[in-house]
Amino acid sequence: MEYQTILNEIQDEVLVLESKGAVADYIPQLGNVDATKFGVYLYGIESEGVSLGNAFEKFSIQSISKVYSLVLAMKVLDKDIWSRVGVEPSGDPFNSLTLLEYENGIPRNPFINSGAIVVADILMSYYQNPKEALLNFVRKISGNDAIDYNEKVAFSEKAHGYRNASLANLIKSFGNIHNDVDAILDFYFYQCSLEMSCQDLAKSFMIFANKGMLLDSDEVLIEPQQAKRINAIMQTCGFYDESGEFSFRVGLPGKSGVGGGIVAVHPGYYSVAVWSPKLNKKGNSYLGIEALERLTTKTGFSIF
């Protein structure tokens, strides 16, 4: 069956479900989003992209940005990362402080807030202008120069970022942050405020479906081994304390954000991005997971 036919079926089934979630409003700017938005974009390695609904509308990618910052850090400083951040699922919420206290300020993985803050610190030590470096990298792998940060969202998060500030300060007290805490937080809030569409997200994640290569140019962006490793971390840690459940229901590596986006990858086959702003209690898109579970069930294409 064609991907488009399957996506249309999924839309019919998912949009009649009652979305039990709620839009994230702990970052006030995110609370203003229209909760009924729903978009999907799928790129196949050997097929044209297919779309549904609001697939071309930009939204706040939030924690999905943690994948981009990690990839950039792995490109420039791979060997320096893994003594400062682990690769184990945390089993805790994305903004939890708990394990840091027992584990000497070494975050469990790069896809929870503490881990991404350490990755931001690593990038900050390497680049004079890390915001510009990250933006250029994301534009390049998405093939879209119009992608940008949303300063209103970044400021809104900064104004309420007490929890992230505690994480950064706690990590700094263990010596695992080398730069100024306020500067790191500023960079972290900016990276979370990146706005992209499902199409942009799906296109950029094709590097993980395509052994590290850009789709259109065959340029090797990261080594195949690095793409393999990022897929592995997405599989085990991409959904915080719901990573096991996502694996169980969907069966793909992926990453979510509190803006309601999820991107998932089937290495060797496709990448797919979904956007629906209402989140479940773990901070993952409620209808996004429903849609992706149907996608892998109907196509029979998951990694398992």
Q: Within positions 104 to 143, which residues make up the interface with ligand GLN, using CB under 6 A?
A: 113
Has 258 been labeled as part of a binding site? yes
* Ligand-binding site membership of 129 (annotated): no
Cα 100 to Cα 106: distance, rounded to the nearest angstrom: 6
117 vs 221, beta carbon nearer ligand GLN: 117
The verdict on whether residue 63 carries a ligand-binding annotation is: yes
Check binding of 157 to ligand GLN (CB under 6 A).
yes
Asked if 63 interacts with ligand GLN (CB under 6 A), we say yes
Distance of CA 5 to the CA centre of its chain: 27
Least distance in Å: CB of 165 to ligand GLN? Answer: 11
Q: Is 164 annotated as a binding residue?
A: yes
Nearer to ligand GLN, 69 or 113 (CB): 113
Pick 164 or 296: Cβ nearer ligand GLN: 164
Shortest Cβ distance from residue 222 to ligand GLN (Å)? 23
Q: What is the Cα–Cα distance from 28 to 155, expressed in whole angstroms?
A: 10
Q: Are 255 and 64 in contact (CB under 8 A)?
A: yes
164 lines the binding site for ligand GLN (CB under 6 A):
yes
Check residue 241 for interaction with ligand GLN (CB under 6 A): no
Q: Considering only residues 115, 260, 283, 288, which one is a binding residue for ligand GLN as defined by CB under 6 A? A: 283
State yes or no: 149 annotated in a binding site: no
**Cβ 170 vs Cβ 162: under 8 Å:** no
Interaction between residue 150 and ligand GLN (CB under 6 A): no
Closest distance to ligand GLN from the beta carbon of 111 (Å):
9
Q: Is 95 in the site for ligand GLN (CB under 6 A)?
A: yes
Report the distance separating Cα 133 and Cα 276, nearest Å. 29
Q: What residues are designated binding site?
A: 63, 113, 157, 164, 188, 240, 258
Site residues for ligand GLN per CB under 6 A: 62-63, 94-95, 113, 157, 164, 192, 257-258, 283
Q: What residues are designated binding site for substrate?
A: 63, 113, 157, 164, 188, 240, 258
